[in-house]
Structure formats: structure tokens, C-alpha cells
Structure 1
Amino acid sequence: MASMHHHQGRTRRDDGQLPLDDQQLAAGPSGLPDMTGREAMNAELSVLGIDVVLAALRHHRHVQEVAEVLAT
């Protein structure tokens, strides 16, 4: 019974996180070539563009709802 609460020598932190081993975690090489500066910038702008489109669609929906209320 005591072995069930020991968890292989690991201690539980108060914040609910499980402790990591002392090893540094690092991603290995992906095998893909490095992105050029232009490719990296285009990837960032693509992500930002998605955020802008979603914000514009939310605003458009609000304007449409207001217009429907005014039309009645």
C-alpha cells in the first residue's frame, strides 16, 4: 500500500505539476531545411492574418445584428 503512494521516488509539487527529470528537453532536428527570413516572416504574417480575419468577422457579425435590430 505504501508503494502506491511513493510513485517511484518522485515527489508531487503543490501546484499539481508532475516533476520532470533533470534532463534538458530539446527538440531534435526535423530533417527539414531551415526557413529563410522571408519564409519565417510569411509564416508569422499568415498566423497574424488569421487573427485579423477572425476579429473582422466578429465585428461584421455585430454590425449585422445591429442592422437587423434597426430594420425591425
Structure 2
Amino acid sequence: MDDRCSGSSCDTAQPPAAAPAATPLRYTLDANDAIVAVAGDWDRFALANGGEAILAARIIGRRLDDFIAGDVT
């Protein structure tokens, strides 16, 4: 497991060119890997980086693997 993860919560890494978040971004998953909560300046960070599709209201209740593309390791 990634060292940024603890149980079903993970702090997300932000790409260097991205607008910095004022507080760390965090998501929480349920037992079925559905996103049940996000924290930090999630929506502000998403909007600043063209992520209208991942605003909190649009991702809560969806499975994490809905957002993973390519080969899963």
C-alpha cells in the first residue's frame, strides 16, 4: 500500500505544475471502494486544474476504479 494511505483513506499527490491546495487533498473509500468523502480544497483544486468532472458532488458514491485508466498495477 502507498505510504500516503491509511486504511481506506489516501492523501493525493499533486503534480508539480498543478495549483497548490491550501490544505491536503484527501478521499475516503467504503468497503466497496466507493468514494464516500473528499476533504481539503478538493473542488477549488479540481476547478483550477480543469477537473470539472471530478467535483465532489460528481464523484461521491462512485467507485475509485471509475477514475483509473490504463494498466492497473
After TM superposition, the score normalised by the length of structure 2 is: 0.17
User: TM-score w.r.t. structure 1 length?
Assistant: 0.17
Which structure has the highest helix share of the two?
1
- Name the structure where strand makes up a greater proportion of residues: 2
Higher relative contact order (CA 8 A, sep 6+): 2
